[in-house]
Amino acid sequence: MAQFIDYYQTLGVDKTADEKQLKKAFRKLARKYHPDVAPDDAEAEQKFKAVNEAYAVLSDPEKRAKYDKYGKDWEHAEAFEQARQQRGNATGGFAGGNPFGGEYTYTSGGEGADFSDFFRDMFGGGGAGARFGGQSRAFRGRDIEAELHVDLQDVLEDNKQILTVNGKQLRVTIPAGVEDGQTLRLRGQGSPGAGGGPAGDLFITFRVNTPPAYRREGADLYKSVEVDLYTMLLGGKITVDTPTGAVNLPVAANTPNGKRVRLKGKGLPEYKGQASGDLYLELTVRLPASLSGEEKETFERLAGR
């Protein structure tokens, strides 16, 4: 058996409260706990439903009379219910003032109904859904946030992946050049609405795994490349790995340590752009792990020792 609910206490009014006082109390609490004000607060959502239910009963003279008459003995209200049904009001519908303008009409079993067991047991029907001027009161569904982890290779061009959100599979396009932490909004792919309201949105935050060898700044990439001492002194060619494949890079003789080389267009695609960024290589000298006797003598001679 459902537990008795003190609707007067829910609204914070006395049992002698008139229509004006009820409306004022309802307006204050409804605005405080409205889903648009606290969209992600489950406790506020429950309080909003309780306030809505209390005002639905107390703002209707017939239902308030029944509630006041039977109170905690509401389960013995069969005689009153039979009389109400004989008056042709078996649907459990009732009307009240809308403090926000227009007219509320609360209808049993409406879409999005979420009234308490106490209400259903006392007044019948499967619940009640708030309506405005005969139209269902629509609530927008909640937004959903999700993360999608991708590799650097995945953002070199538009890439499609299948995501499962709320038990539903979605084909999502990973935009070329998307950055780590960037969020994509998919309208209408969040939680479904209530009372015919629109669905919420899905916000996907991309987490791009950039390999430790690279540092990213927008569409540009930076990488440190070790070159052996002899190539830096005498010149030559080295092979460098890039996100789009290996390239052969000429190294001029007497290249200074820390020399920066730009590989145009070898970076990442610009997000929603037509061009690509650049890859900047910092050439650093890799010293020999050990020297042979001959090498040591050569270096000593060059050093004037």
Q: What does the pLDDT look like over 217-235, one tens digit per residue?
A: 999 999 999 999 999 999 9
Cα 45 from Cα 254, distance rounded (Å) = 71
Name the residue among 14, 130, 6 with its Cα closest to residue 74.
6
Domain residue extents for the chain: 7-136, 144-209, 214-302
Cα 125 from Cα 26, distance rounded (Å) = 23
pLDDT at residue 101 tops 60:
no
Cα 190 from Cα 140, distance rounded (Å) = 10
CATH topology of domain 144-209: HSP40/DNAj peptide-binding domain (2.60.260)
Superfamily of domain 7-136: DnaJ domain (1.10.287.110)
Query: What's the confidence (pLDDT) of residue 138?
Result: 63
CATH of 214-302, one of 2.40.30.200, 2.60.260.20, 2.40.50.140, 3.30.70.980: 2.60.260.20
pLDDT at residue 210 tops 80:
yes
Cα 127 from Cα 302, distance rounded (Å) = 95
> What does the H/E/C string look like for 157-218?
CCEEEEEEECCEEEEEEECCCCCCCCEEEECCCCCCCECCCCCCCEEEEEEEECCCCEEEEC
**Higher per-residue pLDDT: 61 or 133:** 61
Confidence of residue 288 (pLDDT cuts 50, 70, 90): confident
Q: Do domains 7-136 and 214-302 have the same CATH topology?
A: no
Name the residue among 248, 259, 254, 250 with its Cα closest to residue 284.
259
Which single residue is written with the structure tokens 């107390």?
A: 58
**Higher per-residue pLDDT: 193 or 49:** 49
Query: What's the confidence (pLDDT) of residue 9?
Result: 93
Confidence of residue 97 (pLDDT cuts 50, 70, 90): very low
pLDDT at residue 147 tops 70:
yes
Contacts of 52 (CB under 8 A, 6+ apart): 30, 130
Query: What's the confidence (pLDDT) of residue 65?
Result: 85
Report the run of H or E that residue 66 belongs to, with start and end: helix 61-70
Q: What is the mean pLDDT of the chain?
A: 79
Confidence of residue 136 (pLDDT cuts 50, 70, 90): very low
Cα 89 from Cα 300, distance rounded (Å) = 109
DSSP E strand stretches across the chain: 94-97, 103-108, 128-132, 135-136, 144-151, 159-165, 168-174, 183-186, 202-209, 214-217, 220-228, 236-242, 245-251, 259-263, 279-286
Pair 144, 200: CB distance under 8 Å: yes
Residue 101: phi and psi, rounded to 5, are 105, 150
**Collapsed DSSP state (helix, strand, coil) of residue 241:** strand
Q: What is the mean pLDDT of residues 154-171?
A: 87
